[in-house]
């Protein structure tokens, strides 16, 4: 009669695999707990930084009668010795309304005429600007970049006006960036708060 292999029992609680599993569990929980504490500390720092910069800008405006920052609220503060600087940057998210289609129609009229005059490089630039990204969205930077082209055709200029009018601000995000000067140069290096950059 052929012998059958015994059925393996449950792992030995005191075996080597169990011990390494427990050590890994303790390691994971320990690192995650520290990471969560750092995340909370970073969140507090971010809130404090925005509040303190805002208060400083408001105080300076009242005390000296000047408005700090650009049109969008971007502000740069530099330490007295120039070693450090902090930037508050506000990045707007934009999209285009239906007037972009009117701009595209005017541009297509120009391209149809210009192609006959052997100006394919301009057509390539324009067609690339209106090419959508992988998510199917218009690449706003490329479309807005068309306004920098030095073209005096009246239809083109009207199309550029339509692009400007079609811009819609859909939201904004605020960032705090910190920099340290590199030695005695005029170059600055970002102080990274990203775990991958430290």
Residue 59 structural domain: 18-68
Whether residue 5 lies inside any domain: the answer is no
Tell me which of 127 and 18 has the higher pLDDT: 127
For residues 184 and 152, membership in a common domain is answered with yes
Q: Report the range of poorest mean pLDDT among 71-75, 85-89, 108-112, 140-144.
A: 71-75
Is pLDDT at 193 greater than 80 in this prediction?
A: yes
128 and 164, same structural domain? Answer: yes
Do 148 and 57 belong together in one domain? no
Task: Tell me whether residue 46 is in a domain.
Answer: yes
Q: Whole-angstrom Cα distance, residue 12 to residue 147?
A: 73
Same-domain pairing of 117 and 190: yes
pLDDT at 93: 87
Above 70 in pLDDT, residue 10? no
Query: Per the structure block, which two tokens stand in for 140?
Result: 């706003």
Query: Quick one: average pLDDT of 85-110?
Result: 90
Does 140 share its domain with 198? Answer: yes
- 15-42 mean pLDDT: 87
Dihedral angle over CA of 160, 162, 165, 171, nearest 10: -80
Residue 45 and residue 133 in one domain? no
In a domain, 169, yes or no: yes
- Between 49 and 137, where is the model more confident? 49
Q: Are residues 60 and 148 in the same domain?
A: no
CB 179 within 8 A of CB 189: yes
Residues 169 and 120 in one domain: yes
How high does pLDDT run on average in the chain? 84
Rounded to two decimals, the pTM is 0.61
Planar angle of CA 133, 137, 140, nearest 5 degrees: 90
């Amino acid at each position: 009669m052929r012998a059958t292999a015994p059925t393996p029992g449950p792992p030995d609680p005191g075996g080597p695999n169990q011990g390494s599993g427990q050590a890994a569990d303790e390691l994971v929980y320990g690192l995650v707990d520290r990471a969560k504490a750092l995340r909370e500390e970073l969140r507090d720092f971010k809130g404090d930084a925005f509040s303190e910069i805002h208060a400083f800008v408001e105080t300076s405006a009242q005390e000296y009668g000047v408005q700090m920052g650009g049109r969008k609220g971007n502000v740069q503060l530099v330490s007295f010795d120039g070693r450090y600087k902090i930037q508050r940057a506000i990045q707007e998210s934009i999209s285009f309304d239906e007037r972009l289609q009117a701009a595209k129609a005017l541009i297509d009229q120009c391209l149809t005429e210009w192609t006959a005059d052997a100006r394919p490089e301009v057509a390539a630039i324009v067609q690339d600007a209106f090419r959508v990204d992988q998510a199917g969205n218009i690449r706003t930077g490329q479309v807005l970049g068309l306004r920098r082209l030095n073209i005096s055709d009246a239809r083109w200029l009207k199309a550029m006006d339509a692009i400007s009018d079609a811009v819609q601000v859909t939201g904004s995000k605020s960032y705090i960036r910190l920099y340290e000067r590199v030695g005695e140069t005029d170059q600055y290096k970002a102080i990274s708060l990203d775990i991958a950059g430290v």
